[in-house]
Chain A
Amino acid sequence: MSALLSRRLLVVTGKGGVGKTTVAAALGLVAARAGKRTIVAEVAQRGDVASVFDREGSQPFEEVQLAPNLFHISIDPQDALEEYLRDQLPSGAVAEVLIRSRIFAMVAAATPGMRELLTVGKLWELAQLDRRTPGADAYDLVVVDAPATGHGVAVLTAPRTFAAAAGSGPVARQGMIIDAMLSDPEQIAVIAVARAEELAVTETGALRRSLQERMGLPLERVVANALDPDRFSPREATRLEPHASHPAVARALRGHHRALRQRAQLARLRKLTGQAPMHLPLHPGGPDLELLADELQAQL
């Protein structure tokens, strides 16, 4: 089995609109099929992962089973804060006072990186074999449907930023523990999803640099999503050209040229990321999760 699936955390990120959520769900399915008890965690979103699986949005913060071995959770920073306080404070009553305190909520919100820290703290908790959540079972793998590129890195750097700012105290100590996991390539892998379009490719290159600079992490894998089929060889295209007066041939040639432009962007993507991206085809009838998982599995 691929080393990728033996990590604890897979962080899937990419520019908005590239199909991050679908790819995260498909990766989760690959892991689940391989017998890993897997949870796909989406961060501050609205039940997108669940809707990819044709489920109604679940309650935030609930671990919901989607398929055999496959679970889903939507992480909301407010819920994460409440869970954290209940876990940390000796008295439940004190925790409740804080949770209900508007002032506390505001100060927490004002504290730089707090939302990101709480979110990532929950991801860390999910990835522990001995979980802090009472009665919760352990997961073999947490797949994170992370925010768009820039914010994705911000989530990863939150614990160390926070630890540096706080200086001392339990939050700083916990920040350092979490950071140790997030910056350990044995435990975490970052996967970028891109489309074969100029802007998405450029952003993926930038992500690779900022991951290296800010986290010391490599960009583990790149997924080029929604590719048009590379249907015609150059020779076939040449044979088609004289018949472009037939509307279906003209259409096919336009599709061929679109595919060619995508190949050029894929070459850029390869160069900017220093690796061959995995390819996922566009599914004309809408993304088919089982099929996407097959396609990913074959390329892992």
Chain B
Amino acid sequence: MTGLGDRLEGKRICIVAGSGGVGKTTASAALALGLAAAGQRVAVVTIDPARRLADALGLEELGNEPRMVDPAVLGAIAPDTEMRGELWAMMLDAKATFDALIAKLAPDERTRDDVLGNRIYAQLSSAIAGSQEFSAVAKLYDLDRDGGYDAIVLDTPPSRNALDFLDAPDRLTDFFEGRALKLFVVPTGIAARVLGAGTSVVFSILKKLTGVNLLDDVAILFRAMSTLIDGFRERAAAVKALLADPATTFLIVASPQREPVAEAIFFRQKLREAGMPFGGLIVNRVAVLAEDEATDPIAIRAQLRDTLGDALAAKVAQSAEDLQVLAARNAEAVERLKTELDEPDPIIVPRLDGEVQDIDGLLVLYRYLTGTAG
């Protein structure tokens, strides 16, 4: 595998980041497919892939564990390529992953049930504190430790804020440890103490503002969680170490529009600040002109006037002009990305004429990422 393959030499974990709607999932799948075709045993963890892509990879019936993708899938996508390794794929179920982690860390069944059955936990685990991001890295950790894979490609959650992903382990430990919990966790009569008038200004105001029932739930949840803190802390530290491991790298996917470009720049900055490795940039859906492609609308109109008639020739000329403007704007965005990300040689994937989120898009990305595009 050339293309991105050379750069990923020696990398065991590849985390694919970027803003929503840039083809991140397709890029992750294509990259994993390329690595697998080249002989590695690869797992790709995706989040909410497009239906047809999921179908194509046979992901439909998958639970929260990777399953091997039928090697025939590669044949359907790239008939001229031989599958020398194995591709495993899974869709991340963030809540199931988080629940499983709780169950694993809980010292006894009662604690486990207290947490999993708590109505605050039910929302906490799916909505708050970056738990989806945490679930993703927790799963990554499990797969890396127990899965026996040569490489794992993680398609990051569709988080607007890339920071959530990098900070997830820290934020979760912060959240569950320390003073906040200690105040809730007293040896006896938790609810009584927490809810008792005058325990502290914080609690009494909370009680006034939010009502009794809710606070009671918070107390029970925090008490149960307190027994899990050590496990959480260890796990978060291990996950953090894994993110900083020399065998881990981050790929950024962008498309040449304002928002994805801003997001890519922001994420690259965050990687720098956190001392995390940056493995490369993929710019997807770029309108590109062939080097020798004529776009002068006046010339085109003149050339075609006799065969098509002036009205139709003018329309063809107009579409050439639009394309030229679009290509120029996209080229500007690519230049900006190159400079800001300090990446002189990004992988540029041209805009397709059709849908990008399906099997054709996968093939095109596969060819560009593996350096086999003609």
Contact call A199/B210, Cβ cutoff below 8 A? no
Contact call A168/B212, Cβ cutoff below 8 A? yes
Measured between beta carbons, the chain B residues less than 8 angstroms from A88 are: 209
Contact call A17/B260, Cβ cutoff below 8 A? yes
Measured between beta carbons, the chain A residues less than 8 angstroms from B266 are: 46
Nearest chain A residue, comparing its CB with the CB of B351: A258
Contact call A240/B209, Cβ cutoff below 8 A? no
Bound complex: CA A251 to CA B323 (Å): 9
A214 within 8 A of B: no
Measured between beta carbons, the chain A residues less than 8 angstroms from B50 are: 198-199
Contact call A102/B319, Cβ cutoff below 8 A? no
Bound complex: CA A110 to CA B131 (Å): 12
Nearest chain A residue, comparing its CB with the CB of B311: A236
Number of residues of chain B lying within 8 A (CB) of chain A: 72
Nearest chain A residue, comparing its CB with the CB of B325: A284
B211 within 8 A of A: yes
Which of A51, A52, A106, A286 has the most chain B CB atoms inside 10 A of its CB? Answer: A106
Contact call A103/B209, Cβ cutoff below 8 A? no
Option from A110, A166, A239, A257 in Cβ contact (under 8 Å) with B308? A239
Option from B129, B317, B353 in Cβ contact (under 8 Å) with A109? B129
Measured between beta carbons, the chain A residues less than 8 angstroms from B357 are: 197-199
Bound complex: CA A283 to CA B340 (Å): 25
Distance in Å from the Cβ of A130 to the closest Cβ of chain B? 22
Bound complex: CA A63 to CA B290 (Å): 47
Nearest chain B residue, comparing its CB with the CB of A172: B211
Known A48-B259, A94-B201, A168-B212: A102·B307 in contact at CB below 8 Å? no
Bound complex: CA A172 to CA B127 (Å): 20
Measured between beta carbons, the chain B residues less than 8 angstroms from A282 are: 326
Within 8 A of B (CB), among A102-122: 102-104, 106-107, 109-113, 115-116
Contact call A107/B180, Cβ cutoff below 8 A? yes
Contact call A170/B208, Cβ cutoff below 8 A? yes
Contact call A166/B205, Cβ cutoff below 8 A? no
Measured between beta carbons, the chain B residues less than 8 angstroms from A261 are: 353-355
Contact call B323/A284, Cβ cutoff below 8 A? yes
Measured between beta carbons, the chain B residues less than 8 angstroms from A161 are: 123
Task: For chain A, give the interface size range.
Answer: 35 or more
Q: Mark B164-208, 1 if CB is under 8 A from A, else 0.
A: 000000000001000110010000000000000000011001111
Nearest chain A residue, comparing its CB with the CB of B211: A169
Contact call A112/B318, Cβ cutoff below 8 A? no
B28 within 8 A of A: no
Known A48-B259, A198-B355, A261-B354: A255·B323 in contact at CB below 8 Å? yes
Nearest chain B residue, comparing its CB with the CB of A20: B259
Distance in Å from the Cβ of A156 to the closest Cβ of chain B? 14
Bound complex: CA A200 to CA B355 (Å): 11
Contact call B308/A243, Cβ cutoff below 8 A? yes
Within 8 A of B (CB), among A1-52: 15-18, 21, 44-46, 48, 51-52
Option from A16, A111, A239, A254 in Cβ contact (under 8 Å) with B160? A16
Bound complex: CA A168 to CA B214 (Å): 9
Q: Mark A205-240, 1 if CB is under 8 A from B, else 0.
A: 000000000000000000000000101100010011
Bound complex: CA A89 to CA B300 (Å): 71
Option from B21, B207, B257, B358 in Cβ contact (under 8 Å) with A15? B21
Contact call A229/B209, Cβ cutoff below 8 A? no
Bound complex: CA A21 to CA B255 (Å): 16
Distance in Å from the Cβ of A242 to the closest Cβ of chain B? 9
Q: Mark A70-103, 1 if CB is under 8 A from B, else 0.
A: 0000000000000000001100001001100111
Bound complex: CA A18 to CA B210 (Å): 37
Which of B255, B319, B355 has the most chain A CB atoms inside 10 A of its CB? Answer: B319
Distance in Å from the Cβ of A99 to the closest Cβ of chain B? 11
Q: Mark A270-293, 1 if CB is under 8 A from B, else 0.
A: 000000000000101110000000
A176 within 8 A of B: no
A171 within 8 A of B: yes
Contact call A170/B128, Cβ cutoff below 8 A? no
Measured between beta carbons, the chain B residues less than 8 angstroms from A197 are: 355-357
Contact call B307/A243, Cβ cutoff below 8 A? yes
Bound complex: CA A89 to CA B308 (Å): 75
B218 within 8 A of A: yes
B104 within 8 A of A: no
Measured between beta carbons, the chain B residues less than 8 angstroms from A300 are: none
Measured between beta carbons, the chain B residues less than 8 angstroms from A200 are: 21
B272 within 8 A of A: no
Known A197-B355, A248-B317: A169·B201 in contact at CB below 8 Å? no
Contact call A258/B354, Cβ cutoff below 8 A? yes
Bound complex: CA A247 to CA B289 (Å): 11
Nearest chain B residue, comparing its CB with the CB of A158: B127
Option from B21, B120, B320 in Cβ contact (under 8 Å) with A111? B120
B22 within 8 A of A: yes
Measured between beta carbons, the chain B residues less than 8 angstroms from A106 are: 175, 180
Within 8 A of A (CB), among B325-371: 325-326, 329, 353-358
Bound complex: CA A257 to CA B308 (Å): 19
Contact call A169/B317, Cβ cutoff below 8 A? no
**Which A positions have Cβ atoms within 8 angstroms of B?**
15-18, 21, 44-46, 48, 51-52, 88-89, 94, 97-98, 101-104, 106-107, 109-113, 115-116, 147-148, 154, 161, 165-172, 197-200, 202, 229, 231-232, 236, 239-240, 243, 246-249, 251-252, 254-255, 257-258, 261, 282, 284-286
Known: A18-B21, A107-B180, A248-B295. 10 other contacts (CB 8 A): A17-B20, A45-B160, A103-B183, A109-B129, A115-B128, A116-B127, A169-B212, A198-B50, A248-B320, A261-B355
CB-defined A-B contacts under 8 Å, sample of 28: A16-B158, A16-B160, A17-B19, A17-B260, A94-B201, A98-B201, A104-B202, A104-B206, A110-B221, A148-B158, A154-B127, A167-B213, A198-B52, A229-B322, A231-B315, A232-B315, A240-B312, A247-B293, A247-B294, A248-B295, A249-B304, A249-B308, A251-B293, A252-B316, A255-B353, A257-B353, A285-B325, A286-B258
